[in-house]
Copies of this chain bind each other. A is one copy, B any other.
């Protein structure tokens, strides 16, 4: 946790917060904070700034806070991601939040196992928890938007073309395709497939919606590694 993220409910006055949850435990056990210490804080969806620890008791802490710093810029990206297996989903959500992806569409694919859609990790509170961990890691305050699309074809045919408009549309896909471009400034829509990849029918439909395959080389990467590698290369 490199940033203590504050929710509206934490505020007891305009410049005071009281914490009682895992953030209190983290201050006690990892930061080993003492009264008077200064900590970096951020207001969810708002500015970042500093906090001074006014009071630290076994079950609650009170901090005086001030905010003056905007969070880092997001990437100009919409990430379309075939729903990963539940354990991977949690890590990927942290990673996309940490790397500054503003918008993620979790979409079905032929190679996504049906059971993955039943995971409790897809419930809004569970998704938010992982996103917060990513923001705390990277020092950002703005939650990415997560959109869930359980049906591939209607999403790609009816809604994806409007999302892709005015962006460079790419599919990260192993094979005999052009190499993934580097160091872009323009907005990108990037689709990353499931373990085993998109099937040809899906690549065709994505291409009709304006996305073209690009590759990162012969190595097959885990989804989480592929997400990080593609983002680091593109921007």
Q: Do A220 and B183 touch across chains, with their CB atoms under 8 A apart?
A: no
Q: Is A62 part of the binding interface, using a Cβ–Cβ cutoff of 8 Å?
A: no
Q: How far is the CB of A158 from chain B (nearest CB, A)?
A: 33
Which residues of B are found within 8 Å of A183, using beta-carbon distances?
182
| A232 close to B (CB within 8 Å) | yes
A55 CB within 8 Å of chain B: no
In the assembled complex, the Cα of A95 lies from the Cα of B223 at a distance in Å of: 11
Q: Which residues of B contact A229 (CB under 8 A)?
A: 99, 228-229, 231-232
- Shortest Cβ distance from residue A136 to the other chain B in the assembled complex, whole angstroms: 10
Contact pattern, A 121-162, Cβ under 8 Å of B = 1, otherwise 0: 000000000000000011110000000000000000000000
Which B residues are CB-close (under 8 A) to A95?
225
CB within 8 A of A230: which of B139, B216, B231, B232?
Answer: B232
- Is A194 in contact with chain B by the CB < 8 A criterion? no
Cβ-based interface call for A219 (8 A): yes
Tell whether A218 is near chain B: CB-to-CB under 8 Å. Answer: yes
> In the docked arrangement, what's the CA distance between A166 and B136, Å?
39
Query: With an 8 A cutoff between CB atoms, is A20 at the interface?
Result: no
Interface status of A114 (Cβ within 8 A of chain B): no
Contact in complex: B182, A219 (CB < 8 Å): no
Count residues of chain A with CB under 8 A from any CB of chain B. 26
Return chain B residues, CB-CB under 8 Å to A182: 182-183
**Do A138 and B221 have beta carbons less than 8 Å apart?**
yes
Interface residues of A in 164-185 (CB under 8 A from B): 182-183
Give Cα distance in the complex from A228 to B137, angstroms.
16
How far, in angstroms, from A221 to B136 measured CA to CA in the complex?
10
A65 CA to B217 CA in the complex, in Å? 26
Nearest residue in B to A228 (C-beta to C-beta)? B228
Assess whether B222 is in contact with A137, with CB atoms less than 8 Å apart.
yes
Give residues in A with beta carbon < 8 Å to B. Answer: 2, 72, 95, 98-100, 137-140, 182-183, 216-222, 225, 228-233
Q: Can you list 6 A-B contacts with CB-CB less than 8 angstroms, sorted by A residue number? A: A98-B219, A137-B222, A139-B219, A228-B232, A229-B229, A232-B232
